Amino acid sequence: MTRAWLGALSAVPLLVCCTDPHSRARPESTPDTTTVFAPQRTPDSVRPPADTLPAGYALTDTSTWEAFEEQGQRAILRRAGVAIDTVDLTYGVTAVGQDSLVFLPVRTDTLPNFPNAKVLTYDSFPRDYAFWSPTSRLRLRDVLPFFDSFFSSPTKPRGAVIHYWGIAPQRPTNRIYAMRYDFRAARLDSTFLNREDALATDYRYHFGTPQIHGNEVSFDGVIVDSATWLVIRHEPPPP
């Protein structure tokens, strides 16, 4: 088990979004707060369960998003009525500290799928997980060690604790870790899963989201004890 301590996250300077090397050669995109087309509206009655947001925050303008391999719902995250970003509603928005949020932004391509079509359509897709506060914005991969925006499949934070797959580049492959980070305590736990993976795929769900069952966390059948953060057994895959 490896433990590390990160500095106070509130002291980081404001960063703006930039080109993502994990974008998998996506076309140029634009924030959906200035959407390039009118997306299909979805009645709020079928929206996923609402997140508990700090006072003054709201999710508005629910719509659908879709790409070749995935689809979902999105909404505009606002603070005091001012748009912050467009976020995926499946992952949602989670408060991990006083006025600090974690969410998954969604972007829309500026180039249509079929430029000569009578009705233009545009792919939308998730981007870098974000760690946001009123005074700063960071990509989660710039905060969490071994976090990969495309492959880490993080859990939605519970009690300010997030679980994710750690990807440690080791040519010609990658070492794979079970990771846990507590935003409030600034404590990181990691353990090597005795697994290496070249990640020769464009499928972002190559690793399943870690599953929490009482005092155990399953990383695709590799069970980690939450007290010691050590691997305690391997379960066979489902038939």
CA–CA dist 54, 103 (Å, integer): 14
Q: Which residue has the tokens 């799928």?
A: 113
State pTM to two decimals. Answer: 0.77
pLDDT of residue 222: 97
CB count in 10 Å sphere of residue 230: 12
Q: How far apart are CA 157 and CA 93, in angstroms?
A: 9
- Whether residue 125 sits in one domain with residue 169: no
Paired strand residues for 161: 158, 182
Per the structure, how many domains does the chain have? Answer: 2
What pLDDT does residue 50 have?
Answer: 59
Of 139, 170, 193, which residue sits at a domain end? 139
Do 33 and 128 have their domain in common? yes
Q: Is residue 164 part of a domain?
A: yes
At 53-63, the pLDDT tens digits run: 889 999 999 99
HEC readout, 157-216: CECCEEEEEEEEEECCEEEEEEEEEECCCCEEEEEEEEEECCCCCCCCCCCCCCEEECCE
Task: Give residue 150's pLDDT.
Answer: 93
- The pLDDT value given to residue 145: 96
pLDDT at 87 over 50: yes
Whether residues 77 and 124 fall in one domain: yes
Range of the domain at 220: 144-239
Residue 202 lies in a domain: yes
Which residues have C-beta within 8 Å of that of residue 178, sequence separation ≥ 6?
163, 165, 166, 190, 191, 193, 210, 217, 219, 222, 224, 229, 231
Dump pLDDT digits (tens) for 113-164: 888 888 888 888 888 999 999 999 999 999 999 999 999 999 999 999 999 9
162 and 91 fall within a common domain: no
Does 210 reside within a domain? yes
Domain end, chosen from 97, 116, 139, is at 139
Do 171 and 207 share a domain, yes or no? yes
CA 13 to chain centroid: 21
Binned at pLDDT 50, 70 and 90, residue 110 comes out as confident
**Is 230 found in the same domain as 129?**
no
Flag whether 196 is in a domain: yes
Q: Which of 112, 139, 166 is the last residue of a domain?
A: 139
Regarding whether 150 and 98 lie in a shared domain, the answer is no
Same domain for 230 and 152: yes
Same domain, 186 and 207: yes
User: Is 125 in the same domain as 174?
Assistant: no
pLDDT 10s digits, 184-194 = 999 999 999 99
4 within some domain: no
In a domain, 14, yes or no: no
d(CA 15, CA 18): 9
In this structure, are 69 and 151 located in the same domain?
no
* Cβ-based neighbour number of residue 214 at 10 Å: 6
At which residue do the structure tokens 């929490």 appear? 212
In this prediction, residue 81 carries a pLDDT of: 95
Confidence band, pLDDT 50/70/90 cuts, at residue 170: confident
Residue 36 lies in a domain: yes
Query: If pLDDT is split at 50, 70 and 90, which confidence band does 16 have?
Result: very low
Give me the pLDDT at residue 35, please: 33
Question: Would residue 78 count as lying in a domain?
Answer: yes
- Average pLDDT on 197-201 reads 93
Residue with tokens 């976090």: 147
> What is the structure's pLDDT at 9?
37
Same domain? For 81 and 130 the reply is yes
How high is the pLDDT of residue 6? 43
